Structure 1
Amino acid sequence: MPSRREQLLDAAIGVLGNQGSRALTHRAVDAAASMPYGSTANYYKTRDALISAVVERFAERDRIGWETITTFVRPANTAELAAGLIGYVQRALGPERAVTVARYGLFLEATLRPELRDPLAESARELRKWAATWLREIGSADPEGDCEAVFDYLDGVILHQLAFDGQVGGDWQAAVERTVLRLVA
């Protein structure tokens, strides 16, 4: 059972991902969490404090998610890796769409608030370490470099799919498969 704090932060992620950063207010988070007015403000006095806490919650959720994934997923070759990454993108665009939109909203917020960059970057580095391990295990000559290229590419695919909803770029799944096979081969 998530704590009250986690419930509020998860609700804040939902507000950010479903309504945008301008809608992220203490009152909106209270409503989204089905908690009394003032609940969010009791934990986070300012909007900046709330956003900083949301960044920390993202890092925590990412770590838990990747720990779970790495216990079940072990690609044995580049084709399996590509299939797993396509599944990741499908989830980011489907059931996790609001979380994905919120993530990109935080990335944009970090362009204006440099204090958010370090926690977001640290979380990204941790995730990429796990992914680089997969690349090393399937024989990549440069697992860290290949990981950077693959993750940066996937960020672009996800961002374009969110922004253009398939109107630009054609068959992204086939493109991901080709690109991953080319980058990691």
Structure 2
Amino acid sequence: MVDRRTLLLDTALELVGTQGMRGLTHRAVDAAADLPAGSTSNYFRTREALVLGIVERFIVREREMATGPRDQVDPTPDGVAEALGRFVDRALGPDRMVTLARYAILVETAQNPGLRAGMALGADQVDTWGLDLITRAGSRDPHRDVGLLANYVTGLVLHELALPSPDLDARARIRAVIDTLGWTVGEAS
């Protein structure tokens, strides 16, 4: 059973994913979650606190999109390509609202510097996880490669949301990037 805080954040993610940031209010979250008025504000006193809560939640959800229910990725070039390909497929399909919410929050962060610290903390968590994984997978320069892969996947998802490819093979595209980066299994630095 999902706890109330998680329910509120998942509901808020859906609202932002369907209505953009303009649709995010405490009242709207309460109504969409079918909870009494004031429920959201009991957990998140301000809109900024609610947005930062959503950031925490979409980081958890996006990691699940990549790792699956076991929260594991095979630390090989193929395993990383498979995980990131799965992430892209889910970001464009069943978890599309999470993806749209993330992009809306990124734009909001660009316009509201008060959100940057929370976004940076979340990015650091993702980078730490990614650095460990790609180091074990054979990256020769994990600090460079984590940013390159993250930005490639982010751009791929954004492009595919706007202009979908009928035959997208995200895994193959990501594997080509990994090959270009020159990863070698067993020779990670």
Match in the other structure for 1:40: 40
Cα deviation code 1:23-62 (max 9, x no counterpart) = 1122221121111233223433443332233223334555
Instruction: Please list every run of 5 or more consecutive structure 2 residues that lacks an aligned counterpart in the other structure.
Output: 184-189
TM-score, normalised via structure 1 length: 0.83
SS at match of 2:37: coil
Deviation, 1:134, is: 2.3
Change (3 A) 1:156 1:134: same
Asked if 1:175 corresponds to 2:180, the answer is no
Query: 1:34-113 counterparts in 2 under 5 A?
Result: 34-59=34-59, 61=61, 71-76=71-76, 78-113=77-112
Deviation, 1:74, is: 1.6
Contact 1:62 1:123 in 2 (8 A): no
- Give 1 or 2: higher helix fraction: 1
SS at match of 1:72: coil
Contact 1:14 1:99 in 2 (8 A): yes
Match in the other structure for 1:9: 9
Deviation, 1:149, is: 0.5
Contact 1:82 1:176 in 2 (8 A): yes
Distance 2:30 2:13 in 1: 12
Cα deviation code 1:120-169 (max 9, x no counterpart) = 122122212222222222322101211111111111001111122338xx
Count residues with an aligned counterpart.
182
TM-score, normalised via structure 2 length: 0.81
Distance 2:44 2:137 in 1: 45
Cα deviation code 1:48-97 (max 9, x no counterpart) = 33223322333455577778778532232x23322221111111111111
Using the TM superposition, name which of 126-135 and 99-108 deviates more: 126-135
**Percent of aligned pairs with the same amino acid:** 40
Using the TM superposition, name which of 150-159 and 47-56 deviates more: 47-56
Distance 2:43 2:75 in 1: 42
Match in the other structure for 1:21: 21
